[in-house]
Structure formats: structure tokens, C-alpha cells
Amino acid sequence: MAKIVTLPTRAFGAEPGLPDIAALVGWVADHRGTKADLMAYRLDASLTPQLDAGITAPCAGGLFLRERVLGDLTGLNEERNVVTGEIAFEGTGLAADAAMLSPRKKDLWFSLPAPHALGITDAYYGDEDELQEAFAAACRRMMREMRDAGIGGHVLICTHIVESELAALAQKKVFFFLPEASGKDLETLLEYQRVVAVRPSLLEEVSRLIDEYDISRLIIMDPDDKAIKTALAFCDPDRISAGGYCTTSCDTYWQALAASAVYRK
């Protein structure tokens, strides 16, 4: 008789939409005494459906936290889109977010935009290497303070691969996530991290690279039966997880991901 095996599930963040006024007012009333602003609402909305669905490794946040990140940085103009002075991390918004959510799940991770995804124009450094090092230093301090507030680690969401950011920031508690990676992107990522998250369309490429790179875990994004079967042909089952990054209908998305993370042995 076939045995049904459930894969671990891992989230890389979510992008919840803006609430209507009634929903926001009700949520604020339920969270009196806490930092109950719009960003905190969206953070809660990014996490709660994951917890309800029983996602093994949930992850709060997403690209929508761009404003929170920029609000914690010095050296930006009033519109927060141009570098006009020394970049440094000196705010408390993200640390407060971490302290608010970390009690809800042990080893909770946070998802944030990678430095290049912040969309900032330089009008101060005049040197790309200096600019990136300043952002990297600020990012390291930001992540350290959030971990001090109880967060287990960080996902940095990329719009493309910037290898200098990987070199400066990739480590055990930091995972670079490119939602629509190509085969070339995958090879670059594997130079810096042993866990890889890919769409089913890239599994054939992973099978080619698995002997060349030390891949400790393969995360299949939004897997179906065919994708899981393909991965099992070249990867040990205890090294495979199902991954998710919700950009729409998050109340149902995570339930569907949990339901899809199974195969018959």
C-alpha cells in the first residue's frame, strides 16, 4: 500500500494588498497598545494565513516593506528615493516589527527587498562600489538588530542578481530569493548559498548542477505531482521542500501550497 509523504513547506514572504478602511479600523482596534499602523497591518496579513495553513517555515514581509526599510535609513532625501548623504541604519521601525511578530512563531524569518530592489538613485557617493558597500553595511546592521529582537533569519527578495550583494550579505541566516530565476541566475546563486528555490521549469537544470554544487536543500516553488516526481529522481526526499511566495489571494494560496506538498511513496 502506497504511503503518503508530506514535504516541509517554506515561505519566502507575501505581498498582501491594501485593506479597506473598515478592515483597517477593526484591526487597529484589536491591536491597541501596539504599533498598529498600515505597515503593521500588512505584516500581520502576510503572516497569519501562513500560520493558519500550517506552513512549516513561515516568513513575514515582502517587497511591500520597502517604505519601512527606507524609513530606517539615514542619508536619503525627503522623498526617500535619492541618496544625498552617508547611508546608515539608525531607525527602529523594523526592530519593532520583529519584536511584534517573533513571539508568534519560533525562528520566524522576515522577507525584505534586497538593496538593489529599493530603487534608490545615488547623488552622493558617485562610486557604485562605495554605494553598495554602504547599503550592505546598513543591511547587515538592520538584520542583526532584527535578529536581536527575535527573528531567525532573512529572505532578501531580488528583481535580478547583483553578485556584489551576494558576496557581501549571503550567509547561513540570509537567503537571496529571485522569484523568476533563469539557469544562469541559478548558477550564480549556487556560488554563494547551498539552498536553492526554483520553479518546476528549472528542475532539469538543477539535476545537471546538483553534482557540481553542494546543494543541501531543493525548494520547489508551487510544486505539482510532476515536479515532485522529477525532483525525487535526482534528489533525496529528505532534502526537498515545497516553497511559496504569495502575490495574490493569500487566504487561499497557502492552504493550496500545503495541500500540494505531498507525494506517494
Whole-angstrom distance, CA of residue 143 vs CA of residue 97: 12
> Looking at the structure, do residues 56 and 161 belong to the same domain, yes or no?
yes
> Looking at the structure, do residues 98 and 161 belong to the same domain, yes or no?
yes
Cell numbers placing 152:
531567525
> Looking at the structure, do residues 64 and 166 belong to the same domain, yes or no?
yes
Residue 26: which pLDDT band, with cuts at 50, 70 and 90? low
> Looking at the structure, do residues 207 and 120 belong to the same domain, yes or no?
no
Q: Is residue 156 part of a domain?
A: yes
160-164 contacts at long range (C-beta below 8 A, 24 or more positions apart): 160/116, 160/185, 161/185, 161/188, 161/189, 162/114, 162/115, 162/116, 162/132, 163/188, 164/129, 164/132
Q: Is residue 30 part of a domain?
A: no
Whole-angstrom distance, CA of residue 249 vs CA of residue 254: 9
Residue 36: which pLDDT band, with cuts at 50, 70 and 90? low
Q: Is residue 13 part of a domain?
A: no
Residue 161: which pLDDT band, with cuts at 50, 70 and 90? very high
- Assess whether pLDDT exceeds 80 at residue 29: no
Q: Is residue 29 part of a domain?
A: no
> Looking at the structure, do residues 182 and 167 belong to the same domain, yes or no?
no
Whole-angstrom distance, CA of residue 157 vs CA of residue 103: 24
171-189 pLDDT, tens per residue? 999 999 999 999 999 999 9
Q: Is residue 22 part of a domain?
A: no
Q: Is residue 228 part of a domain?
A: yes
- Assess whether pLDDT exceeds 90 at residue 201: yes
> Looking at the structure, do residues 73 and 167 belong to the same domain, yes or no?
yes
State phi, psi for 4 to the nearest 5 degrees. Answer: -90, 125
- Assess whether pLDDT exceeds 80 at residue 37: no
| Other Cβ atoms closer than 10 A to 128 | 10
Between 167 and 41, whose confidence is greater? Answer: 167
Q: Which of 171, 203, 222 is the last residue of a domain?
A: 171
> Looking at the structure, do residues 216 and 122 belong to the same domain, yes or no?
no
Position 23 scores a pLDDT of: 65
Residue 56 near residue 243 (C-beta atoms within 8 A) = no
Q: Is residue 73 part of a domain?
A: yes
Write down the pTM of the prediction.
0.93
Domain count, the chain: 2
> Looking at the structure, do residues 202 and 109 belong to the same domain, yes or no?
no
> Looking at the structure, do residues 153 and 51 belong to the same domain, yes or no?
yes
What is the CATH number for 114?
3.20.20.210
Q: Residue 125 has what DSSP assignment?
A: -
The angle at the Cα of 199, spanning 197 to 205, to the nearest 5 degrees, equals: 85
| Residues 65-69, mean pLDDT to the nearest whole number | 95
Q: Is residue 125 part of a domain?
A: yes
Whole-number percent of the chain with pLDDT over 90: 83
> Looking at the structure, do residues 229 and 105 belong to the same domain, yes or no?
no
103-143 pLDDT, tens per residue? 999 999 999 999 999 999 999 999 999 999 999 999 999 99
Residue span of the structural domain in which 183 resides: 178-235+242-248
Which of 174, 154, 72, 63 has its CA nearest to residue 116?
A: 63
Residue 77 near residue 70 (C-beta atoms within 8 A) = no
Which of 235, 106, 217, 134 has its CA nearest to residue 172?
A: 217
Residue 33: which pLDDT band, with cuts at 50, 70 and 90? low
> Looking at the structure, do residues 149 and 208 belong to the same domain, yes or no?
no
Q: Residue 18 has what DSSP assignment?
A: P
